[in-house]
Structure 1
Amino acid sequence: MILIYLGCTAIAAFALALVLGLTGAAPAAVAHAAFAIGALPLIFAAMSHFVPVLTRSGGAEPGVHRLPLVLQAAGVVAVAVLAGWGPGWLLHGALVAGLGATGAFLAWAIRRGRASLGKPHPGLAWYLAALGCLGLALVAIFAGLLWPAGYGALRLVHLHLNTLGFIGLTAIGTLHVLMPTVLGKPDPQAAPRLRRQLPWALGGVASAALAGVLPWLSVPAVLIIGGVLVHTLWCWWRSWGAATLFGDGASASLFGAGLGLLAVVLAGGAHGLGWLPGRPAVGGFFMLFLLPLVSGALAQLLPVWRFPGPMSPARAAMRARLVRFGALRAVLFLAGGGLTMAGFEAALALPAAGVLMFGVALVVALAGGGAGRA
């Protein structure tokens, strides 16, 4: 039930971020509403589902399932402070809580890897790298709060390690496992591809993190991370083709998320070279990547979390409701994000409509799913 709760609150957090953005709230509050309240706890929940799969071990312990709730509570505090609703010193407590939860989760994932039945799937290494990036991101912003002179540079390090590091690495590592599951078709090259790509991805993330201090590093960051994404998308296209990828609402959303992240990486490079303001790139990351990624992943995972075990009619019915119009939602997210980054703020209505569509589908699916099981 915690996994289902976090899936639902992620969509609510995205809606909150859109509302805050439309009402002129501080950009930092908008970003943390989407990332710290919605995406980050949900990613931890997804990791708690996938780490046992990647290590061929039993399900996560109850204490591990509660760690995302700690992170979400810290995110609520951060948004309250950044929106001007609470005193600034509360941020220190939220950061300490976030570091503690991240460290505990990383230690659990390492233990599961060491106790794996056979060699763990290479996707686990992507999760460990992503968690390391999150820990470094939290340390960087904590240092920035204690050292105001270095806050600007450390804030950029925090931003890039969170977006491209934690979320980006987790997403790419998960998509290699999730996309074949969504399509019901094997991908024998997924594991070798993950092994080859990880050193490159880490180099790209490191370049992006340091680009706030050395702007010229934006160029290698774009080339490396963009290359990893193009390689992944091309392999999917070559293996399964457009009809298969776009024939299912979940896979269409996930493929759209990959395209969106590629666009965001290019926009981030333009920002690093001074050709584009930073705020559109952050908003683009949310609309072009995070929204299609989370909606596509939840369309596949929520039915499994709601009805664990073998496939059942109730699970199939719930999935069918969630994947319906998935391709249309992906188009709304990508079109709205692209137009918003180009300066058409009215285009925010497009991703807002996509979030509303998925929220309604989620409510109907959960209500129908409960009836189906009964």
Structure 2
Amino acid sequence: MLVWLGVCAIVAFLAALAAALGAVPPAPTFHLAFALGSLPLIFGAIAHFVPVLTKSRAAEPSIHYLPLPVQVAGLITPLALAGILPQWFLHLAATIDAAAAVLLLFWVSRRLRAALGAPHPGAYWYGAALLCLFFALSLVPVWLMIPTLRPPLRLFHLHLNTLGFIGLAALGTLPVLLPTALRQFDATAAARLREDLLPALTGAVSIAAGATVGFWFAVPGAMLLAWVVGRDLFAWWRVYGAKVGATATAPLFIASVGFLILLIAGLAHGAGGLAARPALSGYVAFFLLPLVSGALAQLIPVWRFPGVDSPARQVMQRRLAGGGRFRAMLFLGAGLALLFEAHWAWLLAALALADFVLRLLGALYNPRQP
């Protein structure tokens, strides 16, 4: 199931890149990446990580298969935005996703309360991310019924999803995932996650509100989020040194650096110095694509070979992590070029993703082959 979600996310990203290189309008293009690619995968990742972080049993079938209706909603959304389906289907998709977010949030809360001992602080980040998602989705029916409210509510929805839901889920996962990938313990990770959740959540909500009511409201939020990301980057460099740029973790490191650059680009956009579409395109190439491909390089082998570590899992991880530096540099170059509205930069992102797809296909076809 989780491997299926990972493969489907990569397929959705390839479809979004093809749409970006074609004449498809921005809204359905970006929702291919967000609603169809990222959202179901993050739901599956939360269902995987929360039992680990709370030392509890695996997710129940109702939670394990919850990403499937989210995938259906994720397919409906770009089709409705492209005019292939009637607009009222957007109400249906938003309702499905909002209900799924509430169900998963209640499940996370229950697992946190029932945890043996103190749960790992990373689990709380998933609850905050799901809250952001729910409030972002709850705005969709409002602006569909009252079109005059569409511009400000759409901006709030966009920022609360990209920085609140995806951003918080990623920032809560990376301090846990990097030590695992590098096989080196980070003694400061739990403390950072415990201390930084409130600043990160406040920052994401402040930026979303600032996008709606005024630029200067977003500035403190961007500074808070930048502080959180900067703390992670500094801690990783102090603990791992140059190893953080190893082929296994280079895409994850670049995603964090890209997130920091995007916060600066977002301020430039708010001040009128950068258009909206380059900033959103940069988000996909700078942050989303290296984040997901880098995370899947570590997680798909775990999902494919669950239980204790095994030689087959290690072989698969090495194969998927191969070329990580190459992909990271391509994503970095694509993100920088897209900020300057270079449409050809999507080709760099497509090349990086194609490299990962070929490695993924080979690893899934014969996972034990070195």
Q: Same fold (TM over 0.5)?
A: yes
Alpha-carbon deviations, 1:37-82, whole Å to 9, x = none?
A: 0111111111111000111101111111111111111010001011
Runs of 4+ in 1 over 4 A off after TM superposition: none
Q: How many residues matched?
A: 369
Any gaps of 5 or more consecutive residues in structure 1?
A: none
Aligned residue number for residue 151 of structure 2: 152
Moved more, 264-273 or 11-20: 264-273
Aligned residue number for residue 221 of structure 1: 221
Kindly state the Cα deviation for residue 255 of structure 1 after the two structures are TM-superposed.
0.6
Aligned residue number for residue 9 of structure 1: 8
Give TM-score scaled by structure 1 length: 0.97
Kindly state the Cα deviation for residue 133 of structure 1 after the two structures are TM-superposed.
0.2
Written as runs of structure 1 = structure 2, the 5 A alignment for 1:65-144 is 65-144=64-143
Aligned residue number for residue 305 of structure 2: 307
Written as runs of structure 1 = structure 2, the 5 A alignment for 1:329-344 is 329-344=327-342
Any gaps of 5 or more consecutive residues in structure 2?
A: none
User: Do the aligned residues in 2 keep the contact of 1:137 with 1:162 (CA within 8 Å)?
Assistant: yes
Kindly state the Cα deviation for residue 119 of structure 1 after the two structures are TM-superposed.
1.2
Aligned residue number for residue 350 of structure 1: 348
Alignment partner of 1:21 is 2:17: no
Counterpart residue type for residue 106 of structure 1 = L
Aligned residue number for residue 240 of structure 1: 240
Q: Distance in 2 between matches of 1:4 and 1:372?
A: 18
Alpha-carbon deviations, 1:98-146, whole Å to 9, x = none?
A: 1111111111111111110011111111110000000000012222112
User: Do the aligned residues in 2 keep the contact of 1:253 with 1:327 (CA within 8 Å)?
Assistant: yes
Counterpart residue type for residue 155 of structure 1 = R
Q: Distance in 2 between matches of 1:180 and 1:92?
A: 41
Q: Distance in 1 between matches of 2:364 and 2:48?
A: 20
Kindly state the Cα deviation for residue 216 of structure 1 after the two structures are TM-superposed.
1.2
Kindly state the Cα deviation for residue 221 of structure 1 after the two structures are TM-superposed.
2.1
Alignment partner of 1:191 is 2:187: no
Counterpart residue type for residue 347 of structure 2 = A
Moved more, 83-92 or 138-147: 138-147
Q: Distance in 1 between matches of 2:341 and 2:93?
A: 34
Counterpart residue type for residue 360 of structure 1 = L
SS at match of 1:187: coil
Aligned residue number for residue 291 of structure 1: 289
Aligned residue number for residue 172 of structure 2: 173
Kindly state the Cα deviation for residue 218 of structure 1 after the two structures are TM-superposed.
2.5
Q: Distance in 2 between matches of 1:205 and 1:234?
A: 21
Aligned residue number for residue 267 of structure 2: 269
**Superposed CA RMSD:** 1.2
Counterpart residue type for residue 128 of structure 2 = A
User: Do the aligned residues in 1 keep the contact of 2:208 with 2:218 (CA within 8 Å)?
Assistant: no
Kindly state the Cα deviation for residue 270 of structure 1 after the two structures are TM-superposed.
1.0
Alpha-carbon deviations, 1:137-194, whole Å to 9, x = none?
A: 0012222112211111000110011000000000000001111111111111111111
User: Do the aligned residues in 2 keep the contact of 1:218 with 1:273 (CA within 8 Å)?
Assistant: no
Give TM-score scaled by structure 2 length: 0.98
Kindly state the Cα deviation for residue 372 of structure 1 after the two structures are TM-superposed.
5.7
Alpha-carbon deviations, 1:256-305, whole Å to 9, x = none?
A: 11001111111111111111111111111110001110111000000010
User: Do the aligned residues in 2 keep the contact of 1:250 with 1:297 (CA within 8 Å)?
Assistant: no
SS at match of 2:66: helix
Aligned residue number for residue 59 of structure 2: 60
Alpha-carbon deviations, 1:233-255, whole Å to 9, x = none?
A: 0110011101x1122x2311111
User: Do the aligned residues in 2 keep the contact of 1:37 with 1:72 (CA within 8 Å)?
Assistant: yes
Counterpart residue type for residue 361 of structure 1 = R
SS at match of 1:153: helix
Aligned residue number for residue 38 of structure 2: 39
